[in-house]
Structure 1
């Protein structure tokens, strides 16, 4: 009887340990995926901001030149990458407030090249970076 009880306790303990290990691992994986999605979007937006600044500068130098066209194409390409990163956010962090912030951030960063002068460029860039900081702070809380 003692051996049966000992075996039963061992089996139950093993099953309980395996179940708890699975639950903790799954929770950790979900959190990691959420953080990776938010980080991918943040990195994509950083690239969009840089490309939009490049687009603005090349336009002011020579709006008919090949450098301008290359900067414009790169700006469009990186906005596409950021849109794809929003898909990852939607899948891993389907929070309406966070997705609204992501859309606003993409819009703010995508319009940097439309600046009318260097002061407007600086203002648009600062606004996009501030919106990015706010997004990162919100995503850090929601990705936990």
Structure 2
């Protein structure tokens, strides 16, 4: 009888340990996926800001010149990449408010190249960076 009881306790302990390990691993994986999605979006926004600034500067140097056209194409490409990373956000962090904030942020930084002069570009860039910082803080509270 003692051997049966000992074996039963060992089997139950093994099953309980395996189940708890699975639950904790799944929770950590989900958190890691949320962090990765938020980080990918914030990195994409940073690249959009850089490309929009380049687009503005190339436009000032020679409107419709080859460098301006290349900068414009790169700006469009990176906006597409940022839009794609929003799909990851929607999948891993399906929070309506956070997704709305992400969409507004992308719209804001996508228009940097429309600045009227360098001072306007600086103002728009700072506003975009401030909004990105606010998004990162909001996302950090949702990732945990």
Match of 1:41, SS? helix
TM-score normalised by the chain length of structure 1? 0.99
**2:71 matched to 1:71?**
yes
Cα deviation code 1:89-110 (max 9, x no counterpart): 0000000011011001101110
Q: C-alpha distance in 2, partners of 1:114/1:17?
A: 59
Cα deviation code 1:39-68 (max 9, x no counterpart): 000000000000000000000110121000
Please provide the CA RMSD for this pair.
0.4
Cα deviation code 1:72-127 (max 9, x no counterpart): 00000000000000000000000001101100110111010000011100000000
Q: C-alpha distance in 2, partners of 1:64/1:110?
A: 19
Q: How many residues align?
A: 144
Question: Unaligned 5+ residue runs, structure 2?
Answer: none
Q: How does 1:1-144 map to 2 (within 5 A)?
A: 1-144=1-144
Question: Unaligned 5+ residue runs, structure 1?
Answer: none
TM-score normalised by the chain length of structure 2? 0.99
- Deviating beyond 4 angstroms after TM superposition, the runs of 4 or more aligned structure 1 residues are none
